[in-house]
Each structure stands twice: as structure tokens, then as C-alpha cells.
Amino acid sequence: MFALREELARQFPGLRDEFRQFTQRHADTVVSEVTVAQVVGGMRGIRGLVCDTSVVDPDKGLYIRGIPIADLAHCLPEAIFFLLCAGQLPSPEALISLQQDLRRRAKIPAYVWDVLKAMPVDSHPMTMLSTAILVMERDSVFRRRYAEGMRKEDFWEATLEDSLQLLAKLPGIAAGIYRMRTRKGAPIPSDPSLDWGADYAHRLGLSDSEGNFARLIRLYLTLHCDHEGGNVSAFTCHTVGSALSDPYYAVSAGLNGLAGPLHGLANQECLQFVLGVRERFHGVPTDEQLREYAWNTLQAGHVIPGYGHAVLRITDPRFVAFRIFGEQICPQDEIFRIVEKIFEIVPGVLREQGKAKDPWPNVDAVSGALLYHFGLTESDYYTVLFGVSRALGMCAQLILNRALGTPITRPKSVSTAWLKAAVGQTQQAA
């Protein structure tokens, strides 16, 4: 036994009983109403899902287990995984034991490389990441133990086991995908003296004489770890997991959602937008030039990537944390300065247009500029980094859901005819 598993084994039985009693006692209490706008508008704002790993306050941003993300920016991502699962940061000993456990599991099966090598050369790095995870599903302990008749009380433990196997291997797989896609050479072996994030940075193979790239990768992995339960990737992972599909199936599915341009792929789109600005104006534009460029983008029917949010109504604190890093490390970098200029101008343009409910930058508005500064210029790789980090939250959510015995997800859909009848427009419900 190692500290995380021990801690969860201590907490979960009581948590499950308390949750069961609470839900039985208050089963009929109304906590949310549903309007037509919400039914047709992506269920925005409907409180219909429990997620205890993190909460997003529209006016304050992300809280991991009650702690604002800004206060956690200095933490190692593996410590954040402990926090997400157990509700507290690990002791130094518990952190070391988790790191050792991850190292012990880091070896990547040879068949993963065979599958990745066999994929078409123009496969998107996210397709490769999702495929690599799916192909490892054959090793799922959850699936094997379920087939053997595992008790429901033990589901979380098998989910933790699969999650640790997966998380241990993800940085190596993700770094290998980068090297393969960019023809930089063979995968770089793990350095067992490094933490989870620094080892990922090391295995990407970019030069990092001062260790700032490793700092950036750690920060990246910490900031993107989780964003409550209703975002596309977390909700997809939750839904797939609720069918008792194991973490390999569920995380791979979640990543397929993350790969969309309105979600995690926005970081790729964002860097392209910034590069487009640089090319058009041969450097940092004036305020007026950028205002016109932003308006042209909107008038062409495109979104401005990295701006707006489904829940947040402020500048994303994850954006702020990255910006502080950029101001310290590369304040004069041209790409970073364009990002700063966009931050000055675009919220005003979006407010003037009046469509976006949130005109402020989200996490994706700046992350790419920092990666670019360190020579990670291949923007179609950026969502992979997001995915490696978000796997922490997806796995933690799966573990908690299996501990609480969350049932299969199955909201009721309605037909348009039913909706019309419900508002009294027609008499007949279909």
C-alpha cells in the first residue's frame, strides 16, 4: 500500500455512506430549474451533476478542492492529482511515494509504439494520443476484475489502479508522439531523478539550459488539470465511465472532446491567430490595426480563439498565472507582446459586438505563446499537453464517482414537438 491509496481507503467508506444518506434525505428537494434556452443551449447552467474535485466560480475562476488555482500554481502536477483525489495536498512522504509509484509504472508497452508508427503520417497528435490510450485498454485491471465479479465497493480501487498506470505512461507517450510527428528522432528515455512534469519536458527533447522550460511544463500541467465536471472532456469522460467502461475507454473519449476547436484545440487555434497577426503587421500591431483585424475576424464569422467562456465571466485566473510567468521569463518576446496587445484590445471589441457573454481571455489565450518562446512551435501538438494535464482531473473524477457509486448517466431528451407543447404552443406532446 502507498499513501494515496491508503488515504482514499480511509476516506471513501465514510464518504459513500454520508453521500448516500444525504441524497436519500433530500432526494426531492428542487435545486435547479430548466428553461427552454437551457434545453436548446447546451444545458448551460443546469445544475445536474456532482463534481467534488473542483468548482468553477463564474466571478472568481477555478477552485481545486476549495483552493484558488492561483494559490496552487507553484505545486507539482502529481501533488495536484493527490489533492484532486484526496481533498488535501500530500505530505512530503506521500508525494515521494506517489512519484515512486508513477516511476515504477512508466514503462510503455512496445505495442503502443507499433500502433503509433502504423498510423498515417498526417494523423493529428490528439488522434495519436487518444489511440495510444485506447490500445492500452487490454491491460485494464478494472475490466478484468469486473469480469471476475468485483464488488461495487472495490470499483474505485481498480479505477485508481488503471488511472495510475495511465498517468505514469502518458508523458512518455505524449513526448514520443511529439518526436515522431516532428521527426526529431527516437523517444527519449525517462530520467528517474525527475518529477512527472520535468521528465515530460526532458523527454520532449528541447534545450532547456536554465530549467525554465521544465518550469513551464509543470505550470502547464498544473493549471489545466481540471475544470469541474461539465466541460466537454470531463463530462464525456464521466458519461463513458458511468457505463462502467474503464478509465482507458473513458479518458480516451474525453480527449476526443478536448480535441475540438471550441474546447482544448483553442490553444492551437490561438497560436495560429497570433502568428496571423504577426505576419499581417510584421510584428506587434498598433491598437487600431488590431481592432480592425479583430473586427474582420468576427465579420468573417470566426470566433476569436482564447476568448470567451461557457462559465467564467472574468479573466481566467489560469491566463493570469501564465501571464505572470511570461512577464518574468520573456516580456520582450514578440509573440508574447502580441498576446498582451490582444488582451488590451479584444475584450473591448467583443463587448462592442455584444454577442459573447464573456469577453475575457481563457487559459488558451496565452499558453501557446510561452511554448513557442521555448521552441515548441508546432501548435498542432499543444492540445496534447492540455490532454496530459486534463487526464489528472478526468481520472480523479472517475475514482471519486466509482467511490460514491454514481449511477449511469441518462438525462431525458425531448423532441421539439414536446418542447412546443410544454410552452403551450401546440396541444399535442409527441
Build a one-symbol-per-residue string for 234-263: x at contacts with ligand NMX by CB under 6 A, - elsewhere. Answer: ----------------------------xx
CA distance 320 to 330: 15
* Choice among 208, 226, 364, 373 that is catalytic: 364
Contact 339, 285 (CB under 8 A): no
To the nearest whole angstrom, how small is the minimum distance from the Cβ of residue 254 to ligand NMX?
12
Give the nearer residue to ligand NMX in terms of CB position, either 326 or 359: 359
To the nearest whole angstrom, how small is the minimum distance from the Cβ of residue 302 to ligand NMX?
7
Give the nearer residue to ligand NMX in terms of CB position, either 172 or 308: 308
Q: Please choose, from the candidates 339, 221, 349, 209, the residue with its C-alpha nearest in 3D space to the C-alpha of residue 276.
A: 339
Q: Which residue has the cell 492561483?
A: 70
Question: Is residue 67 classed as helix, strand or coil in its secondary structure?
Answer: strand
Give the nearer residue to ligand MLT in terms of CB position, either 155 or 360: 360
Residue 228 within binding range of ligand NMX, rule CB under 6 A: no
CA distance 316 to 414: 34
Residues 259-278 that bind ligand NMX (CB under 6 A): 262-264, 266
Residue numbers at the binding site for ligand MLT (CB under 6 A): 227, 231, 263, 309-311, 362-363
Residue 225 within binding range of ligand NMX, rule CB under 6 A: no
* Choice among 227, 309, 358, 373 that is catalytic: 309
Contact 171, 388 (CB under 8 A): yes
CA distance 95 to 114: 33
Residue 339 within binding range of ligand NMX, rule CB under 6 A: no
- Return the residue of 51, 214, 304, 384 that touches ligand NMX, per CB under 6 A: 304
Question: Is residue 33 classed as helix, strand or coil in its secondary structure?
Answer: coil
Q: In the complex, which residue's CB is closest to ligand NMX?
A: 308
263 is catalytic: yes
Question: Beta strands 54-57 and 67-68: pairing type?
Answer: unpaired
Of 29-37, 150-158, 236-244, 357-365: span binding ligand NMX (CB under 6 A): 357-365
- Return the residue of 10, 104, 351, 355 that touches ligand NMX, per CB under 6 A: 355
Total binding residues for ligand NMX by CB under 6 A?
20
316 is catalytic: no
CA distance 279 to 72: 36
- Return the residue of 75, 363, 376, 384 that touches ligand NMX, per CB under 6 A: 363
Give the nearer residue to ligand MLT in terms of CB position, either 112 or 363: 363
Q: Which residue has the cell 502568428?
A: 275
The number of beta carbons lying within 10 Å of the beta carbon of residue 209 is: 6
* Choice among 202, 227, 263, 373 that is catalytic: 263
- Return the residue of 356, 366, 385, 391 that touches ligand NMX, per CB under 6 A: 356
To the nearest whole angstrom, how small is the minimum distance from the Cβ of residue 9 to ligand NMX?
34
Contacts of 191 (CB under 8 A, 6+ apart): 199, 202
Distances (CA, A) of 261 to 190, 253, 256, 294, 383: 31, 16, 11, 18, 10
357 touches which of ligand NMX, ligand MLT, none (CB within 5 to 8 A by kind)?
ligand NMX
Helix crossing, 232-242 with 382-404: angle to 10°? 40
Residues 305-334 that bind ligand NMX (CB under 6 A): 305-310
201 touches which of ligand NMX, ligand MLT, none (CB within 5 to 8 A by kind)?
none
CB-side neighbour CA atoms (13 Å) of 326: 25
224 is catalytic: no
Residue 364 within binding range of ligand NMX, rule CB under 6 A: yes
Residue 349 within binding range of ligand NMX, rule CB under 6 A: no
21: left (phi over 0), alpha (psi -120 to 50) or beta: alpha
123: left (phi over 0), alpha (psi -120 to 50) or beta: beta
CA distance 412 to 191: 49
First to last CA, the chain: 55
To the nearest whole angstrom, how small is the minimum distance from the Cβ of residue 353 to ligand NMX?
7
Q: Please choose, from the candidates 265, 235, 237, 230, the residue with its C-alpha nearest in 3D space to the C-alpha of residue 253.
A: 237
Give the nearer residue to ligand NMX in terms of CB position, either 172 or 347: 347
Give the nearer residue to ligand MLT in terms of CB position, either 75 or 311: 311
Question: Where does this chain bind ligand NMX (CB under 6 A)?
Answer: 262-264, 266, 298, 303-310, 355-358, 362-364
Residues marked as catalytic: 263, 309, 364
